[in-house]
Amino acid sequence: MYQRTYRLEVNNVLSIVYVVGTEVKINLNRCAPSQCKFFSIKCNPTVQFRVEAGASAASVAMATPAGGSFLSPQLLTKNTVVFISMKLASELVNDSKVTWSATHEISLDIDADRDGIVERNNPNKASWKWGPNGHGAILLVNCDCESTFRKELDSEDEEITRVSDLKDMSKMILRTRGPAVLPEGYKLSLHISRSHAESVRGRLHEYLLFKLFQKDYPLVLNKEQLAGEVPYVGGDSQQELFVEGIRFPDKDFDGLITINLSLLEPSGQGFPETPIYTDKVMFRVAPWIMTPNTLKPVEVFVCSTSDNYDFLKAIKSLVQSSGYKLKICHEYMNRGDRWMQDEIEFGYIDSPHQRIPVVLDSPRDRELEDFPYDVLLGPDFGYVTRYPVNERVSSLDSFGNLEVSPPVTVNGKKYPLGRIIIGVAFPTTAHGRNMTKVIQDFLWAQKVQEPIALYSDWLVVGHVDEFMTFVPAPDRKGFRLLLASPDAGYKLFRSLQVKGHGSAKLFQGKEEEISVDELMSNEEFRAENVYVQNCIDWNRDILKKELGLDDEDIIDLPILFKVFSEEDNRAAAYYPDMVNMLVLGKNLGIPKPFGPQVRGTCALEAEMRSLLEPLGLNCTFIDDFASYHKLLGEVHCGSNVRREPFEFRWWNLE
């Protein structure tokens, strides 16, 4: 119980404000006359008190009967202390006395039990705990834009222009019960501690606090003002306030925010007020959450360019037949940049009262750079980005190099939201390319999808989606990991030779046309694929360990690679990279591989169907050869999917 110590003086009446739920502590020996040996106490019916005469002495506790209470004379010792309290607030000023004044019940309340309702004085409101039996309120970053023109993130605007903006904020209620007014000089103040402000670089960037007052929303706290007075309303009343998140968790911010409400007492003679009672509440800022291929699609995004008409037509047919929406980014916006996957990553933020999609904008900043802000950002559609200041942006900062697994359990530890997967340089490489630290720090700080780093710098483009993806499955863990496999490719082509199909042509009718026999006789090409297989095997072992997978959870796809840079041995897919696919539920949009034709059927397509159709998946092969493959990308690189959020709520993580 919160205690406040006061000093008494003989022949002087001390009048103070009492807050229900606290105790007033008075050391009687300090205020007693020097010759005093005994003391007694009298109070009226609304007051309770107890007396302690030292740690070793028994306490005298008194319940106050009707008509008042009187403690007969007791021996006064140097350690005699009286503790005074009340169970109910006063109705009038000066109606409760042990040389006492008025009492007030004050409570700052939040949705500490995460049920969407701000309950009164939850005992756990000042702390935060994970898990289904946890507690603590949740705060969203207000990263959408209520306006559809002259766009600006709501978090960057200190004015509320639309009431709808309040849906993105967390409600906080100031409840008071007591006399109509506070005594002269007393006031209520909302504030954040200086130590907390210093923990976030001395600025209050984490939140803005707004008070609801009729149709106006005056700013109470912001980065320039660490404390702000709020009006006291007497009787049994409540005032609504709204807390707005400004910043996502990051390396220098763990996401926890404490807001304090203090009742200040005047000190007189020009001295600052002192707090006689403080109530606290704690919020955690909701993390940005990615969505894996196993979640239901909502909308597919793709670019229209001057040379991808047939590709776009095939994508449109697949999306429409699958029953999903298609959003085409036309050339006036994309300016020839077709790599939709590289520019953005879709995710969402979630709280008990609101959930919105949020796009993470990559720092690659090519011709598509305006698309996420100008087109996607809007009411109930958020935006966030991170850009390095003293780091060089490389291809590994594009978001074909950012994926997330389906939910997994690893050695008994559950990851119900999956795990983020990124690509980096090999640990012993001195001068390799890496995803910039500012992006990695952001991803790690979200906490709920602990990242895994794979080795992807062996690729020319360097993206993890060039050798891996996930597809839904009806058994085992609910998905399969698909991995590109040169070994599987050579096994398939050797089988064709054994069956007398060595003269069958890859890339038939194209300038790259080559027979199976010619391909298999190229020893240098074979050596390159041995190297590539070693790189993929390294990542295979990491994925098995970090995702808790068995070999039966992995399907090897027959894909060969070609080393295009002898200086640094970086490779790319030799024929269209079939693992770089678009996953729309059970329907897969797979790059058409132009493999060897056997009895009028592409051997590579037939192999893919034999591997995936037993899982209930439907394979549609899309020709991206000229418009994507020859530019070192494929179907997945040129598309993006916004998916439904997880049913699992992130705060229930153990």
DSSP per residue over 108-125, as a string? EE--TTSSSS--SS-TTT
- List phi, psi (to 5°) of 292: -80, 170
CB atoms within 10 A of CB 204: 19
Give the separation between CA 61 and CA 132, rounded to whole angstroms: 40
For residue 35, the 8-state DSSP code is: T
Type of residue found at 205: H
DSSP per residue over 421-471, as a string? EEEE--TT-SS-----HHHHHHHHHT-TT--EEEE-TTBSS--GGGTEEEE
Q: What angle do CA 546, 393, 462 make, to 5 degrees?
A: 45
Classify 390 as helix, strand or coil. coil
First to last CA, the chain: 30
Q: Which residues contact 2 (CB under 8 A, 6 or more apart)?
A: 19, 21, 22, 23, 277, 278
b/e map of 299-321 (b: 16 or more CB within 10 Å)?
ebbbbbbeebeebbebbeebbee
Is 629 noted as a catalytic residue in this protein? no
List the one residue out of 398, 391, 369 whose CA is nearest residue 438. 391
Is 431 noted as a catalytic residue in this protein? no
Is 342 noted as a catalytic residue in this protein? yes
Place of tokens 């106490």: 41
Q: What is the largest CA-CA distance in the chain?
A: 118
Residue 352 exposed, middle or buried by CB count within 10 Å (0-12, 13-18, 19+): middle
Query: From the candidates 104, 135, 463, 636, which is the catalytic residue?
Result: 463
Q: Which residues contact 561 (CB under 8 A, 6 or more apart)?
A: 484, 486, 528, 529, 532, 571, 572, 573, 574
DSSP per residue over 592-607, as a string? -----EETTEEHHHHH
Query: From the candidates 109, 168, 342, 361, which is the catalytic residue?
Result: 342
Residue 450 exposed, middle or buried by CB count within 10 Å (0-12, 13-18, 19+): middle
Is 303 noted as a catalytic residue in this protein? no
Task: Say how far residue 496 (Cα) sits from the centre of its chain.
Answer: 50
Instruction: Round the CA-based radius of gyration of the chain to a whole number and report it.
Output: 34
Query: From the candidates 250, 337, 465, 624, which is the catalytic residue?
Result: 465
Q: Which residues contact 43 (CB under 8 A, 6 or more apart)?
A: 49, 64, 68, 69, 84, 97, 98, 100
List the one residue out of 439, 444, 398 whose CA is nearest residue 419. 444
The answer to whether 221 and 248 are in contact (CB under 8 A) is no
Place of tokens 């699958």: 322
Q: Which active-site residues does the annotation give?
A: 342, 463, 465, 637
